[in-house]
Amino acid sequence: MPVRVYIEDTDAGGIVYYVNYLKFMERARTEFMRTLGFGKEGIFNDGLMFVVRDVKIRYLSSAVLDDDLHVTAEPTLAKGARFIVRQAVYRNDELLADALVECACVNRTTQTPVRLPTVMHDALLKVMNGG
């Protein structure tokens, strides 16, 4: 997913503020899930939502104002109530940040874990297997 760095994304030095890499990744995960047919509306209508359970991120280099970035989202695990997505932020071919993001499927009302819907689990597995 392409992302342009705007002034609102930067700190006083014109460098992307660290938390904004997570925002870029959130948008890329959302768009990735949408391409699989799981937009927010459909998920919410099923009484489900996804929460980030764990993030491990590495910052390797800084993006700056007006950079054109590319953010990736690649599922690496789908099991039970959770899935893990490997994500990266690039400027051209330069890796700026990468992360493993674990998401959990929960009931919207009770906020208790719920198994991934079978159709979603299968779609994630298909992507992981190159399909």
Separation of alpha carbons 48 and 86, rounded Å: 22
Q: Which residues 6+ apart lie within 8 Å of 70 measured at CB? A: 1, 2, 3, 89, 90, 91
Q: Which of 9, 11, 66, 122 is catalytic?
A: 11
Separation of alpha carbons 124 and 78, rounded Å: 7
Separation of alpha carbons 98 and 56, rounded Å: 8
Separation of alpha carbons 129 and 123, rounded Å: 10
Instruction: Say how many CA atoms lie within 13 Å of 9 toward its Cβ.
Output: 19
11 classed as catalytic: yes
Catalytic residues: 11
